[in-house]
Amino acid sequence: MVSTKVDLCGMTLDNPVMAASGTFGYGYEFAELFDINMLGTFSFKGTTLEPRFGNPTPRIAECREGMINSIGLQNPGVERVIDEELPKLAKCLHKKVMANIGGFSVEEYVEVSRRLDKCDQVGWLEINVSCPNVHGGGIAFGTDADAAAQVVAAVKEHVSKPVIVKLSPNVTDIVAIAKACEKAGADGISMINTMLGMRIDLKKRKPVVANKMGGFSGPAVFPVALRMVYQVYEAVKVPVIGIGGISTAEDVIEMMLAGATAVQIGAMNLVDPYICKEIVEQLPVTMEKYGIGSLSDIIGGAH
Ligand code: SIN
């Protein structure tokens, strides 16, 4: 009998498989398809202080082995998330959820975190300093070690739940940013968010996405994400959540060998809404195939 349990910041996950923010809504939409309690947990749609309509359309461009999105942090705002979305989620998820938090100022990150920290359902706060699709927020904080650390330190002062900071791959030295966030008090690092990319429509001779550029994700980014997780694992002591192009149980194991304590599945949820379920079901069989008795024993095993 294999064990898929892992510990994430003092809380046990039944397995390391989470759905990534922005690809799983507020969970109840997917609960119509399968029992979402079979997941480790998931990170809900990035939430800001005020409601946001998001970027102009088209916001999606298909690519070989992935996709580009430029959603622009569309969400109903923290008040409605707490009053309307979380109660709907409570009916179908009986474990803690990860709250993903976006912002345009340090104060906004703090205020949204403070409010979500008070919600019983929320187990972890994932601070998104890496959205590439908005101006003056998200990635503007995540590409500068001092700015990212400032957000983390300010949030930590006002919350009691573990703070996980979601990092951008669109930087020269992700290790320096991860270390600055750890020093500022981050309890974990999730990485990577999407890579800035674009497509051009040959007939129109114009960018496919209205915002011209967007975040590229999907199986093609897996080796890049794996490399970055490997590097960051060597530099920090806090847990790392590996994200980027994961589409099989083998990918989960590979990411854990690189140093991930847990993983998030993103783009593939949009291709196959059952992908997380399938990966969770495949994990024990795949562990047996590679002689793994306990997943928590293999974290960082490739170092
Ligand atoms: C978006 O809403 O534009 C995507 C979120 C993100 O990439 O962090």
Distance of alpha carbon 27 from alpha carbon 18, whole angstroms: 11
Could you give the strand order of the β-sheet that contains 214-217, starting from the edge strand earlier in sequence?
A: 60-63, 66-69, 214-217, 195-197
Longest pairwise C-alpha distance within the chain: 57
Three-state DSSP state, 55: coil
Residue given tokens 């390391």 in the structure block: 16
DSSP summary character for residue 248: S
The pLDDT of residue 71 is 97
pLDDT of residue 291: 98
Please report the pLDDT score of residue 137 as a whole number. 78
Distance of CA 198 to the CA centre of its chain: 21
Q: How far is the CA of 277 from the centre of ligand 1 (A)?
A: 23
The architecture (CATH level 2) of 6-297 comes to Alpha-Beta Barrel (3.20)
Residue 7, phi then psi, degrees to nearest 5: -105, 125
Smallest CA-to-CA distance from 214 within 70, 63, 17 is with: 70
User: Residue 48's closest CA among 131, 135, 109?
Assistant: 109
Q: What is the pLDDT of residue 97?
A: 98
Catalytic residue among 9, 131, 181, 276: 131
Q: Identify whether the C-beta of residue 147 lies closer than 8 Å to the C-beta of residue 130.
A: no
Q: Is 217 in the pocket of ligand 1 (CB under 6 A)?
A: no
Neighbours of 105 (CB within 10 A): 14
Contact predicate 17/39, CB 8 Å: yes
- Measured from the CB, is residue 128 less than 6 Å from ligand 1? yes
Tell which residue, 21, 18, 51, 54, has the closest CA to residue 36. 18
Euclidean distance between CA atoms 131 and 190, whole angstroms: 13
The pLDDT value recorded for residue 138 is: 78
Is the minimum distance from the CB of 215 to ligand 1 under 6 angstroms? yes
From its phi and psi, is residue 245 left (phi > 0), alpha (psi between -120 and 50) or beta? left
Select from 68, 69, 126, 130 the residue to mutate for testing ligand 1; criterion: most ligand atoms less than 8 Å from CB. 69
CA distance 150 to 140: 12
pLDDT at 133: 87
pLDDT at site 140: 82
pLDDT at position 136 is 79
| pLDDT score at 233 | 98
How is the chain split into domains, by residue range?
6-297
Per-residue pLDDT for the chain (303 aa), expressed as one digit of tens each? 899 999 999 999 999 999 999 999 999 999 999 999 999 999 999 999 999 999 999 999 999 999 999 999 999 999 999 999 999 999 999 999 999 999 999 999 999 999 999 999 999 999 999 988 888 777 888 899 999 999 999 999 999 999 999 999 999 999 999 999 999 999 999 999 999 999 999 999 999 999 999 999 999 999 999 999 999 999 999 999 999 999 999 999 999 999 999 999 999 999 999 999 999 999 999 999 999 999 999 999 999
